Amino acid sequence: MKPVPTLRQLRYLVAVVDRCHFGQAAEECLVSQSTLSAGIQELEDLLGAPLLERTKRTVVPTPLGREIAERAQALLKGAEDLVDLAHVARNPMAGPVRLGVIPTIGPFLVPRLMPALRDAFPELKLYLREDQTARLLAMLDSGELDAAIMALPYPTAGLETAEIVQDRFSVICPPDHRLCSLPRAKPADMAIEDLLLLEDGHCLREHALSACSLEGARRNTGFGGTSLHTLVQMVANGLGVTLLPQLAIDAGILRGLDLKVVPLAGENPARSIGLVWRRSSGRKETFRQLAAALKAEMEPLAA
């Protein structure tokens, strides 16, 4: 039988290629540096080719080493999925789950849901990671995350999705603003406003404009918020108006500020919040049950 690399050797190689540092890679793998070096040397001997270029100060992967590390990531992820599959067979709602969440959802959704999830699934251990959508999806693809809560639509090739709730948008403006006299703000009403939005990189920026048919609305280019809290502070200081999802409003983001909420007109001025996970995941049943529990908990928001 042809000798093949072990998962341990491949894990060591991936860690070194990611870190370009033997000490940091050994720390990540929870082994000594000598153990890690020996494991990679065994892998190089097995393959009959150098995978790393070593100097006294640096380590750089060879082209072959980089390609093998990329393929090894898929193998390691597949091995983890096998372990997950066995765990799910015993109890799908037990064990650790590494869950990503975007910044325009996490601060408002997590405090509301965590107590309910702990009560419903006491053996499930949720480890949260907050980051922007593109980086969360990259971590999901690499296996660093198991699932993510994000706003849709967004390109999700290779992922399964389950909608949790439709999160409606409203206009936020000072109490003496002309929009406050309207029962609902229409796209035409918004077209002449200085519309304060999040900086590029936050998917809520495009979701708000698209869901509210405001792609052509004038934007205040002098300011860009880094968070929803920053946006409402700018509105409170008379710099324009903004769009907020109902999730943030219900969580009290406007508390203590003299600002008004004006609903948006339209058939569906909302973003969709969903749970996403890899199609190849061995914990699909876990995520389906988790999505169902999240949806049931968020039903009042959709009413």
In angstroms, rounded to a whole number, what is the distance separating the alpha carbons of residues 218 and 226?
A: 19
Number of domains the chain contains: 3
Residue 182 pLDDT exceeds 60: yes
Residue 1 lies in a domain: no
- pLDDT category at 273 given cuts 50, 70, 90 is very high
Distances (CA, A) of 264 to 170, 181, 242, 260, 269: 5, 13, 12, 13, 7
**For the residues 109-131, what does the mean pLDDT come to?**
90
Max distance between CA atoms of the chain, in angstroms, equals 80
Q: Are residues 265 and 280 in the same domain?
A: no
Mean of the per-residue pLDDT values of the chain: 86
Q: Are residues 102 and 158 in the same domain?
A: yes
Print the domain residue range for 73.
Answer: 7-86
Residue 180 pLDDT exceeds 80: yes
**For the residues 48-69, what does the mean pLDDT come to?**
88
In angstroms, rounded to a whole number, what is the distance separating the alpha carbons of residues 91 and 272?
A: 29
Q: Are residues 154 and 241 in the same domain?
A: no
Angle of helix 7-19 relative to helix 33-47, nearest 10 degrees, comes to 110
- pLDDT category at 113 given cuts 50, 70, 90 is confident
Percentage of the chain beyond pLDDT 90 is: 46
pLDDT at 10 (0 to 100): 92
- pLDDT category at 289 given cuts 50, 70, 90 is very high
Residue 212 pLDDT exceeds 70: no
pLDDT at 222 (0 to 100): 52
In angstroms, rounded to a whole number, what is the distance separating the alpha carbons of residues 77 and 62?
A: 23
According to the per-residue pLDDT averaged within each range, which of 41-45, 156-160, 297-301 is highest? 41-45
- Higher pLDDT pick, 114 / 201: 114
Q: Are residues 70 and 150 in the same domain?
A: no
Q: Are residues 22 and 69 in the same domain?
A: yes
Q: Which residues pair with 198 in a beta bridge?
A: 225
The answer, yes or no, to whether the previous bond of 115 is cis (omega within 30 of 0) is: no
**Residue-wise pLDDT tens digits, 89-100:** 678 888 889 999
Q: Which of 86, 106, 123 is the last residue of a domain?
A: 86
Residue 297 lies in a domain: yes
- Residue that has been written with the tokens 């108006």 in this structure: 241
